[in-house]
């Protein structure tokens, strides 16, 4: 089975309404993000970033990365920032598939399973998992590589994507 690591909204400056809560969660779970990315790179997997535009529709991934590195939590974003060979798509909505070329990129690379992490678990990660399953991809949500605004709601979302959408949950 051909896998890809998909990281949703990890290029983040945390300058938004729920930024402080999300940054706190990201900080406490940072090792899981780093481990997932290091493992994917060591295994030679395709790495794809799908990220909110923060209102900047130029599709300028390097500018989004710079903004995140210079923002709150930049020291946490740096070790998991995209590298030159990684794919990067900007997304207008919660799901990384909604109005983006993500499905085309994955099909072109013959990806069958997504190893999914990002933030927030209960929002963009869950919606991306649901859409991926609807499109026929296998999905493993890397719970240790997800950050949340609300742990109670996160647990509901993870239970839903596992029992209803059919994604697998992977925890250390």
How confident is the model over 71-83, as pLDDT tens digits?
999 999 999 999 9
Q: Would you state the structure tokens that stand for residue 53, as one six-digit string?
A: 């535009």
Work out the number of other CB atoms within 10 angstroms of the CB of residue 172.
9
Cβ–Cβ < 8 Å for 22, 153: no
To the nearest 10°, report the CA torsion of 13, 60, 130, 142. -50
- pLDDT per residue as tens, the chain (172 positions): 999 999 999 999 999 999 999 999 999 999 999 999 999 999 999 999 999 987 777 778 899 999 999 999 999 999 999 999 999 999 999 999 999 999 999 999 999 999 999 999 999 999 999 999 999 999 999 999 999 999 999 999 999 999 999 999 999 8
Count of residues for the chain?
A: 172
pLDDT for 70: 96
Task: Enumerate residues 6+ apart whose C-beta is below 8 A from 118.
Answer: 6, 7, 8, 9, 10, 50, 124, 125, 128, 145, 146, 147
Q: Residue 105 has which token pair?
A: 């990129």
Amino acid 57: pLDDT: 76
What pTM does this model have?
Answer: 0.96
User: Which residues, in sequence order, are CB contacts of 33 under 8 Å at separation 6+?
Assistant: 7, 10, 26, 80, 117, 145, 147
């Amino acid at each position: 089975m051909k896998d890809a690591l998909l990281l949703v909204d990890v290029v983040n400056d945390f300058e938004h309404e729920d930024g402080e809560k999300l940054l706190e969660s990201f900080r406490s779970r940072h090792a899981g993000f780093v481990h997932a990315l290091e493992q994917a790179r060591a295994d030679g997997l395709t790495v794809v970033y799908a990220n909110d535009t923060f209102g900047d529709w130029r599709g300028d991934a390097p500018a989004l990365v710079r903004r995140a590195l210079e923002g709150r939590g930049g020291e946490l974003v740096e070790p998991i920032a995209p590298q030159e060979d990684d794919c990067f798509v900007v997304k207008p909505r919660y799901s990384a598939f909604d109005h983006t070329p993500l499905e085309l990129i994955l099909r072109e690379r013959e990806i069958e399973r997504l190893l999914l992490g990002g933030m927030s678990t209960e929002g963009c990660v869950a919606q991306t998992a649901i859409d991926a399953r609807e499109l026929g991809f296998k999905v493993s949500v890397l719970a240790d590589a997800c950050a949340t605004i609300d742990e109670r709601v996160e647990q509901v979302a993870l239970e839903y994507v596992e029992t209803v959408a059919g994604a697998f949950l992977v925890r250390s």
